């Protein structure tokens, strides 16, 4: 049985981004059913589906909603994370460009379930075209009674506010996003308290990723059991994967959890570009540990299987390295990014990310010392779990894995008697790759 397209079903329909096109394809059909359901019934349906957050953490969506206090005098808010700053990730962008009304319908489902009247969409500052498409969709929804007061005579009120970020990676963290949304410096907050209790404007807040919310209309239409039947026991449904690097057809592909990782990459993209040998795969964005070619060929694509290797599914950003890719230079690119994006709030992150980058840069430019490799490995554990957010971990985890799995390449740079030939592809590894 072929895996149904849940998120990308309308991506190739030319008018799906318009209200007219969305309605013609069955859009907003869930609302009659939705508004007859009690909020708790909607939450239970999402729980039974097994839907997990697609922004990186993979936390069960329905469970997150259930943490919101039911008896409170404070307003409740939804924050949709459309920042998509994880290097290598470009899937949410396609939802915003090609199917923005699915996101709006998903917002209505979440808001009805939790008792929310105002939803904020925090969108990445660089996303000009996605912003235009999303803004047009929101205007259409208001003009035709799908947003605002008494939506379709249901008695349900939902307003949507689009907030444009300023390009800071750290605002992809849910509390950094909230701080920025409130007009403050985009720095993560200590937790607890968690956003479910103290979020936007110190009120209970749900924070979910674009893809997570966009999966809700399919679940409500087809039922929790249909969604839960796809995937594995603990990794349910499908996910959009941004595949970039040295493959024949980079792009965004939807796949069910539980398939073999390399088989999925090969069938989706045509395999390694130019028929070259596979060297490594990053399965979940630049903050993930790296997988060797052997590991990539022998692991299944689901949260638990990937985690067992020390890597993660993360935001679904898969990057493929061929035999000509220099791992040392690839790590230098990764660490330069995290050193630049650290907000500086926590010393282990502020100092650690910069220190790791300086050392790998020293190695790559021929100034490395024999003790530098073990020094980097010694720094990494002191960065893990010691900061307000996980940015320090996002630098330390790949650094340690690149060195441990490809140590000989780092040693070759330090061995000045036998300097390696620079093999990074022209233009370097592009962690801002775009879908074709």
Asked whether residue 100 falls in the same domain as residue 84, the answer is yes
d(CA 187, CA 273) in angstroms, rounded, equals 40
What is the radius of gyration, based on Cα positions, of the chain?
22
Which residues are within 8 A (CB) of 227 and not within 5 positions of it... i.e. 6 or more apart? 6, 49, 50, 51, 215, 218, 219, 236, 237
Whether the pLDDT of residue 318 is over 50: the answer is yes
Q: How many domains does the structure of the chain reveal?
A: 3
Cis omega (within 30 of 0) for bond into 192: yes
CB atoms within 10 A of CB 358: 14
Asked whether residue 285 falls in the same domain as residue 355, the answer is no
Asked whether residue 215 falls in the same domain as residue 82, the answer is yes
| Edge-to-edge order in the sheet of strand 238-245 | 251-256, 238-245, 317-322, 278-282, 291-292
Considering the domain boundaries, does residue 7 fall inside one? no
Asked whether residue 288 falls in the same domain as residue 249, the answer is yes
Considering the domain boundaries, does residue 349 fall inside one? yes
Last residue of a domain, which of 322, 351, 373? 322
At residue 56, the pLDDT reads 80
d(CA 258, CA 229) in angstroms, rounded, equals 12
Asked whether residue 260 falls in the same domain as residue 218, the answer is no
Determine the length of the chain. Answer: 436
What is the band of 289 on the pLDDT scale with cuts at 50, 70, 90? very high
Alpha carbon distances (Å) from 287 to 84, 144, 245, 397 = 13, 42, 16, 7
Buried b (16+ CB within 10 A) or exposed e, 379-394: bbeebeeebbbbbbbb
At residue 417, the pLDDT reads 52
Q: What is the pLDDT of residues 160-218, one digit of tens each?
A: 999 999 889 999 999 999 999 999 999 999 999 999 999 999 999 999 999 999 999 99
CB atoms within 10 A of CB 3: 15
Cis omega (within 30 of 0) for bond into 193: yes
**What tokens does 372 get?**
């530098």
Cis omega (within 30 of 0) for bond into 340: no
CATH number of domain containing 294: 3.10.20.600
Put simply, whether the predicted model's pTM sits higher than 0.95 gets the answer no
d(CA 256, CA 241) in angstroms, rounded, equals 10
Q: What is the pLDDT of residues 24-49, one digit of tens each?
A: 999 999 999 999 999 999 999 999 99
Asked whether residue 179 falls in the same domain as residue 198, the answer is yes
Last residue of a domain, which of 195, 228, 261? 228
Which structural domain, as residue segments, surrounds residue 289? 238-322
Considering the domain boundaries, does residue 422 fall inside one? no
């Amino acid at each position: 049985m072929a895996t149904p397209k849940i998120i990308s079903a309308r991506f190739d329909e030319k008018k799906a981004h318009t209200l007219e096109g969305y309605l013609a394809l069955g859009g907003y059909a869930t609302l009659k059913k939705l508004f007859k359901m009690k909020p708790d019934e909607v939450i239970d349906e999402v729980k039974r589906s097994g839907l997990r957050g697609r922004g990186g953490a993979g936390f069960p969506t329905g469970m997150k909603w259930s943490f919101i206090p039911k008896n409170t005098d404070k307003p409740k808010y939804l924050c949709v994370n459309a920042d998509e700053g994880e290097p290598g990730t470009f899937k949410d962008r396609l939802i915003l460009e090609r199917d923005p009304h699915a996101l709006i319908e998903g917002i209505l489902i979440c808001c009805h379930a939790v008792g929310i009247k105002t939803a904020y969409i925090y969108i990445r500052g660089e996303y000009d075209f996605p912003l235009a498409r999303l803004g047009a969709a929101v205007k259409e929804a208001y003009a035709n009674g799908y947003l605002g007061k008494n939506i379709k005579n249901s008695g349900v009120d939902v307003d949507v506010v689009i907030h444009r970020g300023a390009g800071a990676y750290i605002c992809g963290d849910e509390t950094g996003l909230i701080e920025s949304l409130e007009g403050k410096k985009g720095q993560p907050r200590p937790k607890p308290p968690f956003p479910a209790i103290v979020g936007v404007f110190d009120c209970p807040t749900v924070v979910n990723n674009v893809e997570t919310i966009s999966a809700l209309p399919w679940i409500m239409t087809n039922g929790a059991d249909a969604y839960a039947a796809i995937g594995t026991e603990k990794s349910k449904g499908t996910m959009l994967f941004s595949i970039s690097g040295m493959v024949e057809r980079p792009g965004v592909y939807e796949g069910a959890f539980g398939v073999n990782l390399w088989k999925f990459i090969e069938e989706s993209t045509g395999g390694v570009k130019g028929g070259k040998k596979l060297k490594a795969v990053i399965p979940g964005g630049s903050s993930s540990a790296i997988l060797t070619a052997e590991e990539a060929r022998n692991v299944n694509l689901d949260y638990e299987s990937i985690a067992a290797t020390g890597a993660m599914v993360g935001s679904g950003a898969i990057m493929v390295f061929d035999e000509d890719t220099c791992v040392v230079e690839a790590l230098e690119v990764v660490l330069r990014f995290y050193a630049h994006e650290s907000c500086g709030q926590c010393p282990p992150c502020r100092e650690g990310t910069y220190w790791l980058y300086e050392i790998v840069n020293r190695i790559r430019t021929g100034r490395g010392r024999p003790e530098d490799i073990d020094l980097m490995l010694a720094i990494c554990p002191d960065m893990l779990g010691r900061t307000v957010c996980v940015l320090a971990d996002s630098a330390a985890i790949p650094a340690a894995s690149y060195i441990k799995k490809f140590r000989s390449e780092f040693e070759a740079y330090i061995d000045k008697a036998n300097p390696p030939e620079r093999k990074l592809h022209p233009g370097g590894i592009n962690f801002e790759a775009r879908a074709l």
